[in-house]
Structure 1
């Protein structure tokens, strides 16, 4: 059974004032998003490949509008991102303020490749259209704030093996059902309470 976690590390550095829901066009913050992984003890897997299409932040007051952090296609073998290795997803200036949600859009052409070169295309129920939504609690950036958010990507629950295989050769494929949550959040170096 696959038993591991993916972690998205989001480093948000507040530089100047306001926000997404009370925007001042001259006030910005710098956002840097990184992708990493904890150890993945599924020895027969050679790669777990996904393509991230878009990353967005949603304002607290206006949930219908979004701030696009990245809209370029970025392929990743998630198994390369282990033992502290990270990959940058985006880095840009954003309005400072209050945000309620992070949204990650993943393309449908994900796959798992085994060490014997057997490849399985992942079936993604909905992630490519509406994105994977992660709620942010008490996420308010003020002037000169620096925030770090760690998002836990539960691989065991997200990459579901089809059928009931007793060996790797019996695997019929995978279904991708992304399960993500906020693991930790610190503001100016001080850990904040994370609500379940």
Structure 2
């Protein structure tokens, strides 16, 4: 009887020990509500720069070095055609928001539609070609650690350096972007 009692006590301690040392499946690294905004710097040669934003995607990882643990997250996107030149001098616009795991933002991709154009200083509209914009998207390397509950990234286009009139080939966007 005493042997069974000691065995029951030992078994109870073993269960408590295993439970205390086990990983709780509900432990998560936490989530951050990420907001992605867009703004632009001035350009004299153009009256408007229209960008057709369809989707905002974010690549998240747990640290700055390990690419293997990265995953893509689609943010809730405010899809539409944005005139970049309307967002200058401290004015910006929200283009995507949503929960992502707290960690490092490694890359942002803006998936663009086909309705991209510029309006020159004479009021004439021209198509704006964005290489791989509608396929794999505009790729923006980031590598920023997010704060715990709420964080934001500001995509600051430099239209003056990004847009080129290539003559017969038309206007092309080769984005020069600062991330703030």
TM-score by length of 1: 0.64
- Cα root mean square deviation, aligned: 2.8
Task: Return closer, same or farther for 1:80/1:67 CA change in 2, 3 Å cut-off.
Answer: same
Are 2:27 and 1:30 aligned? no
- Contact between 1:106 and 1:127, CA under 8 Å: does it hold in 2? yes
| Cα distance, 1:53 vs structure 2 | 1.0
Provide Cα deviations, 1:116-168, integer angstroms capped at 9, x if missing partner: 3311011222111111112223x233535x545444423233211123xxxxx
Task: Return closer, same or farther for 1:25/1:53 CA change in 2, 3 Å cut-off.
Answer: farther
| Cα distance, 1:70 vs structure 2 | 3.2
Larger Rg belongs to: 2
Task: Return closer, same or farther for 1:125/1:63 CA change in 2, 3 Å cut-off.
Answer: farther
The 2-side partners of 1:29 and 1:95 are apart by 6
Are 2:82 and 1:76 aligned? yes
5+ residue gaps, structure 1 = 1-22, 164-170, 185-196
Task: Return closer, same or farther for 1:24/1:53 CA change in 2, 3 Å cut-off.
Answer: farther
Secondary structure of the equivalent of 1:84?
Answer: coil
The 2-side partners of 1:72 and 1:147 are apart by 18
Q: Identify, as 1 or 2, the structure richer in helix.
A: 2
Q: Which moved further from structure 2: 171-180 or 122-131? A: 171-180
The 1-side partners of 2:53 and 2:69 are apart by 22
Are 2:135 and 1:129 aligned? yes
TM-score by length of 2: 0.68
Task: Return closer, same or farther for 1:125/1:90 CA change in 2, 3 Å cut-off.
Answer: closer
Are 2:160 and 1:156 aligned? yes
Counterpart in 2 of 1:94?
100
5+ residue gaps, structure 2 = 1-25, 62-66
The 1-side partners of 2:161 and 2:172 are apart by 10
| Cα distance, 1:54 vs structure 2 | 0.9
Task: Return closer, same or farther for 1:63/1:111 CA change in 2, 3 Å cut-off.
Answer: farther
| Cα distance, 1:24 vs structure 2 | 5.8
